[in-house]
Amino acid sequence: MAFFELREYRIKDGKMDEWVDFMEKEIIPFQVGKGMVVVGSFVSEEEEDLYIWIRRFESEEERENLYEAVYQDPVWTDDISDRVGAIMDRERIVVRRILPTSRSVTQ
């Protein structure tokens, strides 16, 4: 059964525009190129430091394979990862696994 991963990040003060640009130009294209399905990317209207994105997985096995493909790749480990930590507060990451209900358009 397919499931989604809703990821909530807290971005350091004054760095949201930089973060969104980084996500849209580098992180999302890199991950999509490895096979990730990114359903959406959002900023909060009410909390200026909150960034949310959603990824879709067909199975736990697919999620594990994609995590390995992305997070073990030298592009991630030697370049992207350090830049992520400079912009985002890694201590405050929240990841939720969510399942669509029977009438959800995101099946």
In this prediction, residue 1 carries a pLDDT of 80
The answer as to whether 93 is a domain residue is: yes
User: Distance between CA atoms of 105 and 107, rounded to whole angstroms?
Assistant: 6
In this prediction, residue 105 carries a pLDDT of 85
Torsions phi, psi for 57 (to 5 deg): -130, 140
CATH (domain of 8): 3.30.70.100
Residue 30, domain extent? 3-98
The answer as to whether 15 is a domain residue is: yes
What digits encode the pLDDT tens for the residues 31-60?
Answer: 999 999 999 999 999 999 999 999 999 999
The answer as to whether 25 is a domain residue is: yes
User: Distance between CA atoms of 38 and 9, rounded to whole angstroms?
Assistant: 15
The answer as to whether 106 is a domain residue is: no
The answer as to whether 103 is a domain residue is: no
| Regions of the chain where pLDDT drops below 70 | 107
The answer as to whether 105 is a domain residue is: no
Q: Per the structure, how many domains does the chain have?
A: 1
In this prediction, residue 106 carries a pLDDT of 78
pTM metric for this prediction: 0.93
The answer as to whether 82 is a domain residue is: yes
